[in-house]
Amino acid sequence: MIKKLRVDHRLLHGQVAFSWTSALNVDCILIANDSVMKDELRKTTLKMAKPNGVKLVMKNIEDSIKAINSGVTDKYKLFIVVESIADAAALINGVESIRALNLGGTKATDKTRNISKAMNVTPEEEDILKNLVDKGVDVTIQMVPEDTAVPVMKAL
């Protein structure tokens, strides 16, 4: 069962590893990211951030979609973390059962605008988010479980 899909450019770190896994009572974290699968140092770093008692799986986006749709992840209380809004959209479009998206944090660049404390989006990402909302996906911004979830359209 998918408990949450989250965009966080840092992927797995203290906030995700402990606050969210505890609040969601998950037993498996899926890092869905194409570049991580090509970077042994990043994989090792992510493994070190994993909380005790929680399984960590890392797959590229395509394999993540296949695994979820095959039912192999159904036995887990699954927390999926992706690095970008585009990756989240790919998962949502590829997995019918994902109907909600949590936005945690994305990097600020010269092409982004800040829409919350840690969320920075490009015009293209704004379009993606609007399209997801139009399709009925519940998209909210929430850094930590204790924060109130803000509907993304309110921030845009």
Give yes or no: 9 in active site: no
User: What is the rounded average pLDDT for all residues in the chain?
Assistant: 96
Query: 29 is written with which tokens?
Result: 């974290």
The contacts of residue 82 (CB under 8 Å, 6+ apart) are 5, 6, 7, 8, 31, 32, 33, 61, 88, 91
Domains and CATH numbers, the chain: 2-155 (3.40.35.10)
Q: Mapping DSSP to helix (H, G, I), strand (E, B) and coil, where does residue 144 land?
A: coil
Q: Which of 13, 42, 66, 99 is catalytic?
A: 13
CA atoms within 13 A on the CB side of 7: 26
Q: Write the pLDDT tens digit of every residue in 42-96.
A: 999 999 999 999 999 999 999 999 999 999 999 999 999 999 999 999 999 999 9
Residue 16 has pLDDT above 80, yes or no: no
Split at pLDDT 50, 70, 90, the class of 17 is confident
